Chain A
Amino acid sequence: MPTAYHRLNPLTKMTVAAAGSVAALAVGGYVVPLAVAAAMLLGASVAHLAGRLLGLSLLVSLPIAVSVVLVSVFTRVGTTVLFSIGPFDATLQGADFAGQTLVRLLAIALSVGLFSTTTDPRALVADLERRGAPPRLAFVALATVEAVPTLAERARVIAEAQRARGLDTEGGLVARARGLLPIVGPAILSSLTDVEERSLALETRGFTRPGRRELLWSVPDSARQTFARRLLLATLVVLVAAHAARLV
């Protein structure tokens, strides 16, 4: 069941995600990124997604976080040594830098995650096209989103066909790696052939015809949301400018 947050116009949610990410990245420190993270979690709780979003964001950030901690804590030059492992000193300055980077990373992951888990790509594309984005751009954006599940389904069908012909895709790592090539090759080649035929089919269906088209559905928007988007962008500009002037 879509919540009030889900029902927001996709551009509003995209503005929230972009503003949150830019603010966390540009201003840095702890306060702004943590405030952004808290705001995103608030939005996620409205969307009944707080737990899932937090888990997803931590999972996505984890590989980068581990490398950031290792590199920053042990290689950053600092005056206060917390502890040493062999020739490496863990410094307070390194730990501080790692902490700031981690909260930024978390804020960005939460911002992007909240947007992507509450927004149907079709709604975003339809809304952008309604606002004047070229249909070709909309098609490329959607086709990209759809390409992953389509390719996965194709690979599954090819894998089943290859298994029926005796290909071993189970067992140890080497057997699995050996079984990958006869699946990936045909999957990619057949996708390329499909792209050619699909582009011909789209041409005959008027896809390259210039001019605007009336869309089947439009995504609701409101004056209140327009105002909120502008306010958010203005706040972002002021915040970044204040930070540049070392006021924040």
Chain B
Amino acid sequence: MLEIRAATYRYAGVARPALRDVDLALSDGEIVGVVGANESGKSTLCLVASGLAPASIGGSLGGGSLVVDGRTMTERPLHELAGVVAIGFQDAASQLSGVAATVFEEVALGPMNLGLPLVETVERTREALAALRIGDLAERRPTQLSGGQAQLVVLASLLAMRPRHLVLDEPTAQLDPDGSRLVGQALARLAAEGTSLLVAEHRTDLLDRICTRIVVLDEGRVVATGPASDVLADPRLHGWGVEPPARVRLASEIAAAGLWSPPIDAALVEALG
């Protein structure tokens, strides 16, 4: 389990907190989506959940703490979290190491850093590439990938580390619908194997498909939390700067037109394209 307890996070030199009194617990195998307008604190929450804030980027947690699998990680060296908690950012290009000659080497970098035997590093790398169906990119130079391909490679490099907790900030920002679907499937598989996931996204359709729970942030505070189907259908969502998923929009359009409204789920919307 990954827990954020009473976190009020301030960036160094900034008086106004980016997160206010946030409590959040992710059970093993659970996928929690984070939504909110720009500047609502989604990325900051991801940094705190991954342990990078304040340990690496500075600032203060205001007496709050990060507890990972029962161990308080605040103030602990970051390398202790490697392989336990992984994070992926929105901009894929800046997450590529810049030193790998091929995509295979890029994906293998994390397992290699964990000190794993070569055989296991290679096996994990192949599996991660296969999970996102990018095995054909293995021999390509990471610097010559498109934005979407680079995002998939970054995700593969995180999957290859097999973290127990995975934090993703806008993981599908540069992906087409097919790419998003692949990522959704890979994340669902990961959760089924027991990994807990925290996914911050603007695109609520992906969250609608894969999340068990949604957290809404507004000005750094958790203003709503609950089962994905309930929170994503909450009429206050627009007011918090979040667009509901297509399923909800379609249902409300049908209702507004005074037509009979059958139950619409995310799978139906996806099937309709």
Contact = CB atoms under 8 A, between A and B. Distances in A.
A216 B121 contact: yes
A122 B89 CA distance: 26
Contact of B112 (A147, A199, A216): A216
Interface in A89-131: 122
Contacts of B99: 122, 139, 142-143, 146
Nearest to A203: B78
A139 B91 CA distance: 21
Contact of A204 (B81, B98, B115, B143): B81
Interface stretch (A1-9, A63-71, A205-213): A205-213
Contacts of A210: 79
Contact of B83 (A150, A201, A202, A206): A206
A200 interface: yes
Nearest to B112: A213
Interface residues of B, number: 42
Interface string A178-218: 00000000000000011001111111111111111111100
A214 B122 CA distance: 11
A209 B98 contact: no
Contacts of A149: 143
Nearest to B161: A205
B105 interface: yes
Contacts of B77: 208
Given A150-B98, A200-B57, A201-B94, A209 B52 contact: no
A146 B79 CA distance: 25
A153 interface: yes
Nearest to B104: A216
B52 A200 contact: yes
A194 B161 CA distance: 22
B191 interface: no
A135 B101 CA distance: 16
B94 A194 contact: yes
Contacts of B122: 216
B261 interface: no
B206 interface: no
A201 B154 CA distance: 10
A135 to B, nearest CB: 8
B89 A197 contact: yes
B192 interface: no
A197 B57 CA distance: 10
B56 A203 contact: yes
Contacts of B108: 216
Given A203-B52, A203-B56, 6 more contacts: A193-B94, A202-B97, A204-B86, A204-B87, A209-B115, A216-B121
Interface of A: 122, 135, 139, 142-143, 146-147, 149-150, 153, 193-194, 197-216
30 contacts: A142-B98, A146-B98, A146-B99, A147-B98, A150-B98, A150-B143, A153-B143, A194-B93, A198-B97, A199-B56, A200-B87, A200-B89, A201-B94, A201-B95, A203-B79, A204-B50, A204-B82, A204-B87, A205-B82, A205-B109, A206-B79, A206-B83, A206-B114, A208-B79, A209-B82, A209-B115, A210-B79, A211-B115, A214-B121, A216-B112
